[in-house]
Amino acid sequence: MVKSVTYTALPGLPLVEPGDDLGNIIAEGVRRAEIVVADGDIFVIAQKIVSKAENRYVDLNEIVPSAQALELAKTVGKDPRHIEVVLSESTEVVRFRQNVMIVAHRLGFVMANAGIDESNIAHDDGKARVLLLPKDPDASGEMLRQQLQRTFGVKIGVIINDSFGRPWRNGVVGVAIGSAGIPSLQSMIGAPDLFNRAMRVTEIAIADELAAAASLVMGQAAEGLPVVHIRGFHSEAAHSPASVLARPKAQDMFR
């Protein structure tokens, strides 16, 4: 049997606004793409539209920067109110320099600017808004999974992805910040290799690999294809949320 996995971007999705029924928007996109959803299919959803539907906007005009934010702003060179919002979402500033602030997000992910981005956010109403990550992306994924399962009558998986920079390598890649109904991290401990010896590699970041592939299909810029349908990926591994991908600080050699 030939093993194939196909990633398809749902075309024609509308811009998402606070309070929108994202599950319904996705379901309509699926029908528009004439996809018949099957058991084991996975939907990858861009963080940005989940955050928008959940109204995770913060108006910078309502933010008073702390002394720490004002101090960091001198080096980083961003609006101190923006930095204040980043700090309020973070547990630790890991590195900072001009234009760069790497923090540990309260969700455990180490990332630039706590994932708070100003691109792809409309400024035409005169507000200075920034958009936070979903409050609990695994929970958001689980809610969307349940809604889509009710709609289509099959078992599916959901991933919420974002683009992260990395140490040591240029360029950003898609990663999973939330998931439901999939093995985000698969343990290979004890699995035999081709010559029946135990594998050295102990865990595979399945959700990050799916998220990266979906990110490519979404595109980054003006295309606006924030939902990707995956067909053909199967794993017998136990389901685990994306939060297990965050390495605890005590086990991390690089902060």
Of 80-99, binders to its own copies (CB under 8 A) are 95, 97
CB of residue 171 vs its own copies: minimum separation in angstroms?
Answer: 3
Figure out which of the listed residues 64, 169, 236, 238 binds its own copies, where binding follows CB under 8 A. 169
Figure out which of the listed residues 185, 237, 238, 239 binds its own copies, where binding follows CB under 8 A. 185
Q: Using an 8 Å Cβ cutoff, are 161 and 46 in contact?
A: yes
Contact between 244 and its own copies per CB under 8 A: yes
Maximum distance among all alpha carbons in the chain? Answer: 64
Segment lying near its own copies (by CB under 8 A), choices 56-64, 67-75, 137-145, 191-199 = 191-199
Segment lying near its own copies (by CB under 8 A), choices 39-47, 68-76, 79-87, 243-251 = 243-251
Tokens of 239: 């389901």
Site residue total, its own copies (CB under 8 A): 76
> What are the Cα distances from residue 136, in Å, to 90, 94, 101, 241?
14, 22, 22, 11
Q: Using an 8 Å Cβ cutoff, are 188 and 203 in contact?
A: yes
Helix (H) or strand (E) holding 82: helix 80-88
3-class SS of residue 39: coil
Tokens of 164: 């992260």
Sign of the torsion angle spanned by Cα atoms 106, 132, 162, 46? positive
What track of x and - describes contact with its own copies for positions 94 through 133 (by CB under 8 A)?
-x-x--x-x------xx------xxxxxxxx---------
Looking at beta carbons only, is 19 or 192 nearer to its own copies?
Answer: 192
| Distance between first and last Cα of the chain | 45
Residue that has been written with the tokens 């409050």 in this structure? 135
Looking at beta carbons only, is 129 or 146 nearer to its own copies?
Answer: 129
Tokens of 182: 């999939």
Figure out which of the listed residues 60, 93, 128, 205 binds its own copies, where binding follows CB under 8 A. 205
Tokens of 252: 């991390």
Segment lying near its own copies (by CB under 8 A), choices 83-91, 138-146, 148-156, 171-179 = 171-179
Segment lying near its own copies (by CB under 8 A), choices 3-11, 20-28, 59-67, 143-151 = 3-11
Helix (H) or strand (E) holding 139: helix 137-152
Of 14-73, binders to its own copies (CB under 8 A) are 15, 33
CB of residue 156 vs its own copies: minimum separation in angstroms?
Answer: 17
CB of residue 198 vs its own copies: minimum separation in angstroms?
Answer: 8
